[in-house]
Amino acid sequence: MTAARARAHVVTRSIDGPHPAVGSPADRVHEPHGTITRARCMRRRRPAPMDDTLRAVRAGAAEPAGPACATGVLRPDMVPFGAPDGDVYGRAADAVRAADFLSVVGTSPRVEPAAAVCATAVDRGAASAIVDTEAASYDDFASDVPRGDVEPVVPRVVAAPEAGGPPVG
């Protein structure tokens, strides 16, 4: 594994937890749109595992508060479009500001708040690749804009020298 890959972070629009599920380190996955894998206390904003919350409800708890919540009012830890979670988005922006290379895959550059990481990379001057089947607003700022389905294209982008991988032949 290259040093660049060892430092890789994932900023994702996915809300169903696919990146940690396939082994991405949880402290390097940033979910500015939230996730359905956690509940969040409406008062204290503390997270709780969604599985624990659902188990308590199924067992008959009217207010499955637990130690994470003072009120018992929990909701899925998701963020409406255009209203990023400041803490999560801040950590994602910090990771992008520290990056030498940004790979944007799929429709991310068209949906806020995840699209804003593209602006952060542009402001920083980081090299970037935007992989999608359609044009996006940040394409003109990207170092590379390969078009096509992500499955065959992403491995080539990740292996490119700008991304810290071996030369593509």
Would you say residue 7 lies in a domain? yes
Active site residue 30: no
Q: Does the structure show a pLDDT above 80 at 84?
A: no
Q: What is the pLDDT of residues 96-137, one digit of tens each?
A: 888 888 877 876 667 776 777 788 888 888 888 888 888 888
What CATH number should be reported for the domain holding residue 150?
Answer: 3.40.50.1220
pLDDT at 17: 78
Active-site choice (9, 19, 30, 33): 33
Domain end residue (candidates: 78, 110, 138)? 78
State which residues form the domain around 96: 3-31+82-163
Would you say residue 168 lies in a domain? no
Distance CA 159, CA 167 (A): 7
- Which string of DSSP letters, residue by residue, matches 36-66? EEEEEETTT--EEEHHHHHHHHHTT-SS--G
Instruction: For residue 16, give Cα distances in angstroms to 12, 34, 38.
Output: 10, 9, 10
Domain end residue (candidates: 51, 78, 105)? 78
**Domain total for the chain?**
2
pTM to 2 decimals?
0.66
Domain end residue (candidates: 78, 102, 136)? 78
